[in-house]
Chains A and B, each alone.
Chain A
Amino acid sequence: MSAMRADHILAAEGVNKTFDGFKAISDLNFYMDEGELRTVIGPNGAGKTTFLDLITGRTKPDTGTIRFGAEGLDVTRKNEYEIYRLGIGRKFQTPTVYTDHTVFENLLLSLEGSRGVFATLFSRVTPAQRDRIREILQIIGLSAKEDVKAGSLAHGQKQWLEIGMLLAQNARLLLVDEPAAGMTDEETAKTGELLLSLAGQHSIIVIEHDMVFVRQIATKVTVLHQGHVLCEGTVDQVQSDERVIEVYLGRSKKH
């Protein structure tokens, strides 16, 4: 296990989290480089979403640290919006957008800028912000939907909008929970391209079940099992790993 280096964007060390006696995360160590696109896979209940909850401050770990960025700030001591302000953005498993707002407004609310109560009372949309929103709309392919209420978008479009919202915030680390869930094959492929194009400028953690999709985007895969890292490597390495086959297919060496 390598210790945290300066070029790590995220380093989780010795993280444990128990819910009512169920060990959701168990002695987890996870390191990720700046600009990396990392895919996290694992069977149901492996602790994938809990891991994201811990990074984004939704739940606090029982023990362990999660350090972010070169400064090595421990995010486990901060709450959701403070962590967001550090530059960590999250896309939820089910698309979570503001259904009653237009696509434009959704991005506007996510854009870097005023966050305080009184600051938002008097803030106006600047031309620079407008340009940035248009730019993001192009990236996520929703330019034509600018003034449409987000609630009336198709499922896949909502997913893209939410990714767009992370872009608007200019997050250094994007946490993307099952972006391809419920998408058509074509939409899935487009989502993969989108994520690939973002890697490098942003560091991205993707949680995914769809192995075709994982193969499309993955450079490095981390397999979680029972709350800790089972193995890491390329898609091929991981898929041929004995332990991975075992946890996925339920084979046991003892037999």
Chain B
Amino acid sequence: MAFIPHTEADVAAMLATIGAAGIENLFDEIPPDLRVKSLAGVPPELNEMEIGRLMTERARADGAPLAFIGAGAYEHHIPAAVWAITTRGEFYSAYTPYQAEASQGTLQLIYEFQTMIARLTGMEVANASMYDGASATAEAALMAVRANRKSKSARILVPTTLHPHYRRVAVTTAANQGLKFEELPYCTAEGVTPSASLARYDGQDITALVIQQPNFFGRLEDVDALTDWAHARAILVIAVVNPTALALLEPPGEWGTRGADIAVGEGQPLGVPLCSGGPYFGFMTTRMEYVRQMPGRIVGRTLDAAGRAGFTLTLQAREQHIRRAKATSNICTNQGLLVTAATIYMSLMGAQGLARTAAAAHARTRELVAGLTRVPGVHLAFSGPYFHEAVLQLDRPVAPVLKSLSNRGILGGLDLSGYFPELGDALLVCATETKTSADIDRYRACLSEVMQAARAA
């Protein structure tokens, strides 16, 4: 299907048909004082050659550092076929056309994506994707308030071990809609949320509990105990999960006795490059029971009038173009192109390939932790299992150490002192299957040098 912009003649014909003198007249109803006169801070346009050159120069300024930063975005090997197929003309649009059923291939791809994500999470139904993991978490909280009809409080319990950006996005998105986010403390020795800390909420009206697995520190939460505690009190459970980790860990659909009620996450690890922070995509799944409360598009499989199988957008009555202001959510699109890449990535990797990737990332991170904690003045912050990230504590401020490492071409991790000051000089590190033993040894050697130099200074 072609995507062709309107010609000037098209625009003139449309304006003539509706009797408008010009496009500006269509915006008459917006009061003049609300309209932006000029866009300060937006530079003038560049042509393709100029923008190409600017971006190449900027990319060169980044260099090609060896990155050990995770914290929500993970460097994984992406088979070359993923983007070769994704950028084919048939797929290369971020949008499903407005007459969506005209694009059966696009709809089938989304349907396959939903099926794969539902299987990966062990949940009954998935939508066509969200903007990113953080906004999916915010939407899950809003959805829980609609779905949990026994609760009137709109109180959402959020562990401090949830990604701090996710928490901020959830608060920004939902606080003005009456949701109250309450932070659950974590155990500073183990870096997880102790079930015992929940006892103070017994007997209170709580709408939902958020559980991130692995949590922001890379540690594994006791998801079964947390889920069962919530369900025994009619509290819904929102799982925030890493899709790579799900190849090895218990899927949210099997947490505790009943499984999580909503599972969301950041889809970037599934074939999307780091790209300086985006665009990424989020995914969202739930039980069939709550499907009408789930935001976003859903593709279904059906039969046409002649009995042939086909794909169609379904459950659209929840959406903006039908329900207007009362729609389930203002999310009425999805990250189509990134979902295309993720679907191809998952198809190429298969369940076994994804499990091997997850196992390799875990093994590399163990190797990294073992190597770095041999450096004097470096130790592991928390005891207990982790997936592909871990928190290290240094005997000196992290920021100057990271700067020195960066000068040596190594991005050493995320400085946690601004987010979690109670952990002192803490550093979150990550290694995936993309790191070799030689890479890890180079990091260890550089860190050793940097720490020694700092001590001598």
Do the two chains belong together in a single complex? no
